[in-house]
Each structure stands twice: as structure tokens, then as C-alpha cells.
């Protein structure tokens, strides 16, 4: 078995430019039919708008909150991902398989970029690429049609060309263009400007050799500010910043709570790197591990203010979630400590690049973003993978001893866990779609309006079947109208018995024992309001939707509780 493994490893390592894409495609292949869920519909609707009005990507209204609003007031991302969807759909179509197939391209770009950058930074490139691929946060994000992996693809290649092109103006110019594309995919991409500036300063490169190439993304961002302000009456970048500030004040987690949750998301989101990390430590590192474990455990077990926010978790369920959170938050702490150790060990521009890349992303996720979620820590995934691989490369200087049993076992365990997490997310999306389709079959297609509350995938599929989203400020329901409400969704309010009569409860089984998205289990991969962990092992509730027949006189709704 060891001889076979070594033979296959060498073959893959010798042909990375086509073996790594094949591996990435094979890993993502089982998820091509994944239903659209969470924020996928927003990007798809922008794609439809781009095909019809390519110079006005946000010029339409959408019901994505308590009332219908212009899309430019709803979205918190620039439009480049929508343009990619429009182009992909023009070639392959709008089906789940077609769009997920197109989004394999940026996933492959991330893996190849990580491999190339790792080789440049003195890390084992194959290990870094596989650690990135088998990070739960990466693989789950790669099975969506949101903008996150696409932004990361531009991000990683911008760094590749910047690092390689310190004395090559063409590569620096290309890096500047890729930064601009990254920020037009997701605003976080602009953080590459200070990151790469710090790298060049640490390399003692004169400003005149590189500074002008970082002006291009800044000029494009300013132009975007001007264009969106002229088109929509408000700068969309400023609006995204205002939304983040407002949401943080409403959600109300303390800085310590956000930091602890972000540590758990780093550890769980990069589980394979966590499994590899202990092999980077020498004997004194065990003391750091134990200290981090006791610190995290003490804070989490006795922070009642944090757990009071998750009132659906109680008893043994809460204890089990706490234990999982302690494990992953400790793992996340170790990964951040490794970045500090790397600076102390090497004290060079490459170590500084990895440190600021990881620390800056963590700070944004914990302190600046509208909420802690897996998508906000995704950009650090290649950096963490390269960091761990670089540390292991330094520890195992002899190439023939690098692929130890511990490293191979960690990759296998991390890979299996990552596939299970992606499968659980896939199952949740399937359950949501099945719930919407069951309701549409039972109650759609007749003269009685089928209203619904809630959003995400439930809205996408029920609206496709003819359902009408309820506008709490404008919709008027009449006696005999039907109303579907998905339990645990967003922007929902149950009617009282004087308004409507419950006529049906649709229940669809969800994934078993593992989930990425459940209030009752404490999993909040896409937003920390649903849980303090990106995924959770435990009892998973089924997807449930209730159906009511309206019996009250015609009346409008008022603002619901979220």
C-alpha cells in the first residue's frame, strides 16, 4: 500500500496542471445537482438581469426581506459573479447541473493557484493544494453559485503574479488587474492592496517599481463608486459598509464572543489543516495546546451570555455543541499561533505575507463583517494550507520522509470529514427544494393564490412553481387564500388562530447526524445567528413547512420578527 501510494503521489506531483483539475472535478462531481439555496438565488437573478440589461445589473426589484425592494438595496456584493452566471447560462443553460459545472472552473483555479504559490513560498505544493481542497469551508462554498470561490480564484492568482513579478512589470500589471476583478466579485478583494504593498515593502522594493500597479484596482473601485451612485443614487460600497455596521449592532455579539466563534469557524472550516497542525509542533507545543484548550473551554462553558442567544440549544444538546466548539476553537487558535511562530522562525517577506493574509482575514471575519460566517473566513484557506505545509516541509527536510503516516492519515480523515460536511449541506438544500415542491404539487396550480413567507432556496423553488412571496407591507390576503411558511427560515411570522387555520404540515427528512444549517442543532455555516459552528454533529431536525388557509377579512401584515 505504501509503495502504491508513493507511486501515485509522484505521478500526481509530476503532472499537477492536469491531475489537480481532475481531482477537483472528481471531488465536486457528486454535488453538480445540488439545489440552489441560501443566497444562490440573488446571484442567479442578477445573471438574468445582466442577460436582459447588461449595463444595469441591479435595476430590478426583489422580495428578499419583509417587503419588495430594489436589488441594489438588497445585495451586498458587486456584480461580476452575476456576469459570470449570465455568460455560463448562455452557454450551458440555467439548470443546477449547468451552473455548478461552470463554477468548477474557479474552484480549479484556486487549487492550481495554491499549488503554484506554495512551491514559490517553500511549502510542499501538493500538500497545500490538497489541504485547501479538503477544507470544509472551501468545498461547501465551491458547491454554491455565490461569489466567494470566484473572488478567491482572482485573489490567489493576483498574489501568485505579484510574488513572482517583483522584477517583472508585466506580471505586476496582471496582478493589479486580477485585484480589480477580485474586488468587483466581492468587496473584500480590495484588501489585496495593503497586503501586497506590505509584501513589497518587506522585500525592500522601491515604490517606483510596483506602487503604480496597485493604483489600478483603486481607480476601478472609485469608478464603481461613482457609477453606482449615479445609477442608483447611492454608492453600493458605502451601502455594504453601512449594512455591516447596522447588522453588527442588531445582532449584538460582544467582541470576545465574535472572536471565539470566529476561532471555531477557522478550526472547523479548515479541519484538515487542524489535523495536520499538531505535527508541526515540537514537544513544547503540547504545553501551548493544553493552555489553549483550557482557556477556550473555560470561557465557553461559563459564558452564559453567549449560550442564552441560542435558546433552542439546551441540556445535552448544548453540552455536545460546547464540546465541539471547544475542539474547533482550540484548533483555530493553534492555526493562528502557527502564523506567529512562522514569523518568529523565518522573519522574511513570505512569512509576513502569510501572517497578514491570515490575521487580516480573521480580523475582518470577527470584527468587520456583518456577521461571522464560513464565507468570510474562506479567503485565508490557501494561506493556512501553505503555512502548515511550509512548517511541515521545514520539519521534514528529507523529501523521502515527508509523507509520513501521520500526514497521510490526517489528509484522509480530513478529506472524509470534508466530503461528509459537503454532503450534509447538499442534503439540506435537497430537503428545502423537496419541501417547496411538495407544497406546490399539493396546493399550486389553481385559482386560489398560494402565498409564502421565507426566502433562500424555499423562495426560489416555490416562486418557480407559481407561489407569490408575501410582502408584509403591501400584500393583502383574502379569505380562502393559502399561505406556506417554512419553519426556521428568515423573515417569517406565524398567523394567529383568528387570522388563519393550519391545514397541513409538510415534513422532509434532512441529513442524519451532521448539518451545516440548523437552529436546533447549532450549525450556522452561512450566518452565526443560526449557530456558533460551521457544522455540527448531532440530531438534525427535518425540514418543516406549515400551510394555512386564510380566514380573516382582507388585511395587510405588519413587520415580522426575524
Does 173 score more than 50 pLDDT? Answer: yes
CA-nearest of 515, 487, 343 to 429 is 515
pLDDT in tens, 412-446: 999 999 999 999 999 999 999 999 999 999 998 77
Residues 110 and 124 in one domain: yes
Residues 355 and 503 in one domain: no
Q: Hey, what's the cell of 47? A: 445573471
Range scoring the smallest mean pLDDT among 21-35, 100-114, 289-303? 289-303
User: Considering the domain boundaries, does residue 3 fall inside one?
Assistant: no
Mean pLDDT score, 75-103: 94
The number of folded domains in the chain is: 2
Residues 143 and 157 in one domain: yes
Residues 154 and 49 in one domain: yes
pLDDT in tens, 156-165: 999 999 999 8
Angle 81-164-381 from CA coordinates, rounded to 5°: 50
The rounded distance, in Å, linking the Cα atoms of 553 and 516 is 41
102-106, 232-236, 477-481: range with highest mean pLDDT: 102-106
pLDDT in tens, 291-303: 777 777 777 676 6
Residue-level length of the chain: 562
User: Considering the domain boundaries, does residue 5 fall inside one?
Assistant: no
The CA R_g of the chain, rounded to the nearest whole Å, is: 24
Hunting for cell 449570465 — which residue is that? 86
Does 561 score more than 50 pLDDT? Answer: no
pLDDT number for residue 400: 56
The rounded distance, in Å, linking the Cα atoms of 61 and 73 is 9
Q: Where is the domain boundary, 424, 455, 480?
A: 424
Q: Where is the domain boundary, 386, 406, 424?
A: 424
The rounded distance, in Å, linking the Cα atoms of 374 and 365 is 9
Does 353 score more than 60 pLDDT? Answer: yes
Q: Where are the alpha helices (DSSP H) in 68-206?
A: 71-74, 80-92, 96-102, 104-120, 125-133, 136-142, 148-164, 169-183, 192-202
248-252, 406-410, 554-558: range with highest mean pLDDT: 406-410
Residues 448 and 396 in one domain: no
pLDDT number for residue 1: 52
Q: Is the dihedral of CA 131, 137, 142, 147 positive or negative?
A: negative
Distances from the Cα of 363 to the Cα of 168, 181, 367, angstroms = 32, 23, 6
pLDDT number for residue 236: 80
154 backbone dihedrals φ, ψ, rounded to 5°? -65, -40
The rounded distance, in Å, linking the Cα atoms of 557 and 491 is 12
The rounded distance, in Å, linking the Cα atoms of 428 and 278 is 33
Query: Across all residues in the chain, what is the average pLDDT?
Result: 87
Distances from the Cα of 71 to the Cα of 183, 189, 198, angstroms = 19, 22, 36
Residues 450 and 383 in one domain: no
- Secondary structure letter of residue 496 according to DSSP: P
Residues 104 and 27 in one domain: yes
Report whether 142 contacts 149 (CB < 8 A).
yes
Residues 122 and 227 in one domain: yes
The rounded distance, in Å, linking the Cα atoms of 175 and 169 is 10
Residue 285 or residue 115, greater confidence: 115
The rounded distance, in Å, linking the Cα atoms of 430 and 283 is 46
Q: Hey, what's the cell of 544? A: 418543516
**pLDDT category of residue 2 using cuts at 50, 70 and 90:** low
**pLDDT category of residue 559 using cuts at 50, 70 and 90:** very low
User: Considering the domain boundaries, does residue 498 fall inside one?
Assistant: yes
pTM: 0.91
Q: Where is the domain boundary, 401, 424, 447?
A: 424
User: Considering the domain boundaries, does residue 126 fall inside one?
Assistant: yes
Does 562 score more than 50 pLDDT? Answer: no
Q: How far does CA 513 lie from the centroid of its chain?
A: 22
Mean pLDDT score, 191-199: 94
Residues 419 and 509 in one domain: no
Angle between helices 236-251 and 215-232 (to 10 degrees): 80
User: Considering the domain boundaries, does residue 117 fall inside one?
Assistant: yes
Q: Is the dihedral of CA 27, 513, 515, 361 positive or negative?
A: negative
Does 59 score more than 60 pLDDT? Answer: yes
**pLDDT category of residue 555 using cuts at 50, 70 and 90:** low
User: Considering the domain boundaries, does residue 465 fall inside one?
Assistant: yes
The rounded distance, in Å, linking the Cα atoms of 550 and 257 is 42
Angle 526-515-360 from CA coordinates, rounded to 5°: 35
Residues 146 and 80 in one domain: yes
pLDDT number for residue 214: 94
Residues contacting residue 345 through CB under 8 Å, at least 6 positions apart: 351, 394
Does 65 score more than 70 pLDDT? Answer: yes
Q: Containing domain of residue 345, as a range?
A: 14-424
User: Considering the domain boundaries, does residue 8 fall inside one?
Assistant: no
Mean pLDDT score, 41-56: 95
Report whether 103 contacts 40 (CB < 8 A).
no
Angle 514-31-540 from CA coordinates, rounded to 5°: 15
Residues 396 and 538 in one domain: no
Residues 494 and 382 in one domain: no
User: Considering the domain boundaries, does residue 98 fall inside one?
Assistant: yes
Hunting for cell 462531481 — which residue is that? 29
Amino acid at each position: 500500500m505504501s509503495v502504491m501510494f508513493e507511486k501515485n503521489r509522484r505521478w500526481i506531483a509530476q503532472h499537477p496542471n492536469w491531475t489537480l483539475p481532475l481531482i477537483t472535478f472528481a471531488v465536486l462531481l457528486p454535488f453538480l445537482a445540488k439545489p440552489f439555496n441560501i443566497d444562490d438565488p440573488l446571484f442567479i437573478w442578477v445573471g438574468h438581469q445582466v442577460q436582459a440589461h447588461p449595463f444595469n445589473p441591479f435595476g430590478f426589484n426583489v422580495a428578499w426581506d419583509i417587503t419588495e425592494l430594489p436589488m441594489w438595496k438588497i445585495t451586498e456584493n458587486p456584480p461580476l459573479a452575476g456576469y459570470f452566471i449570465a455568460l455560463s447560462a448562455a452557454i450551458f443553460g440555467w439548470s443546477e447541473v449547468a451552473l455548478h459545472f461552470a463554477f468548477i472552473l474557479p474552484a480549479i483555479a484556486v487549487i492550481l493557484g495554491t499549488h503554484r504559490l506554495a512551491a514559490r513560498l517553500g511549502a510542499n505544493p501538493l500538500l497545500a493544494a490538497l489541504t485547501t481542497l479538503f477544507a470544509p469551508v472551501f468545498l461547501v462554498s465551491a458547491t454554491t453559485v455565490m461569489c466567494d470561490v470566484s473572488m478567491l480564484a482572482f485573489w490567489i492568482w493576483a498574489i501568485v503574479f505579484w510574488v513572482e513579478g517583483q522584477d517583472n512589470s508585466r506580471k505586476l500589471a496582471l496582478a493589479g488587474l486580477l485585484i480589480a476583478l477580485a474586488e468587483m466579485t466581492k468587496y473584500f478583494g480590495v484588501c489585496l492592496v495593503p497586503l501586497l504593498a506590505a509584501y513589497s515593502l518587506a522585500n525592500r522594493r522601491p515604490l517606483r517599481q510596483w506602487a503604480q500597479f496597485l493604483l489600478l484596482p483603486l481607480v476601478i473601485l472609485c469608478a464603481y463608486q461613482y457609477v453606482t451612485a449615479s445609477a442608483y443614487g447611492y454608492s453600493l460600497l458605502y451601502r455594504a459598509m453601512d449594512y455591516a455596521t447596522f447588522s453588527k449592532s442588531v445582532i449584538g455579539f460582544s467582541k470576545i464572543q465574535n472572536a471565539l466563534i470566529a476561532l471555531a469557524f477557522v478550526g472547523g472550516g479548515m479541519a484538515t489543516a487542524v489535523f495536520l497542525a499538531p505535527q508541526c509542533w515540537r514537544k513544547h507545543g503540547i504545553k501551548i495546546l493544553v493552555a489553549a484548550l483550557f482557556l477556550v473551554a473555560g470561557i465557553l462553558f461559563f459564558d452564559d451570555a453567549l449560550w442564552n442567544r441560542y435558546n433552542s440549544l439546551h441540556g445535552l444538546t448544548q453540552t455536545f455543541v460546547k464540546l465541539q466548539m471547544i475542539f474547533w476553537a482550540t484548533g483555530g487558535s493553534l492555526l493562528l499561533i502557527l502564523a506567529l511562530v512562522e514569523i518568529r522562525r523565518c522573519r522574511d517577506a513570505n512569512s509576513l505575507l502569510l501572517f497578514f493574509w491570515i490575521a487580516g482575514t480573521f480580523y475582518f471575519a470577527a470584527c468587520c463583517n456583518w456577521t461571522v460566517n464560513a464565507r468570510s473566513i474562506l479567503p485565508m484557506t490557501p494561506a493556512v494550507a501553505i503555512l502548515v505545509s511550509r512548517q511541515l516541509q521545514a520539519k521534514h527536510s528529507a523529501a523521502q520522509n515527508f509523507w509520513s503516516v501521520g500526514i497521510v492519515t490526517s489528509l484522509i480523515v480530513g478529506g472524509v470529514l470534508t466530503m461528509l460536511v459537503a454532503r450534509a449541506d447538499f442534503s439540506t438544500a435537497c430537503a428545502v427544494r423537496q419541501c417547496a415542491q411538495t407544497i406546490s404539487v399539493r396546493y399550486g396550480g389553481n385559482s386560489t393564490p398560494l402565498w409564502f413567507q421565507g426566502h433562500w432556496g424555499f423562495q426560489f423553488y416555490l416562486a418557480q412553481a407559481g407561489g407569490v412571496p408575501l410582502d408584509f407591507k403591501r400584500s393583502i390576503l383574502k379569505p380562502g387564500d393559502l399561505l406556506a411558511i417554512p419553519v426556521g427560515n428568515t423573515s417569517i411570522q406565524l398567523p394567529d388562530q383568528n387570522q388563519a387555520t393550519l391545514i397541513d404540515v409538510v415534513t422532509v427528512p434532512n441529513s442524519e447526524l451532521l448539518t451545516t444549517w440548523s437552529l436546533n442543532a447549532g450549525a450556522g455555516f452561512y450566518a452565526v445567528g443560526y449557530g456558533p459552528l460551521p457544522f455540527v454533529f448531532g440530531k438534525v431536525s427535518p425540514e418543516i413547512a406549515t400551510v394555512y388557509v386564510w380566514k380573516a377579512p382582507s388585511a395587510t401584515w405588519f413587520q415580522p420578527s426575524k
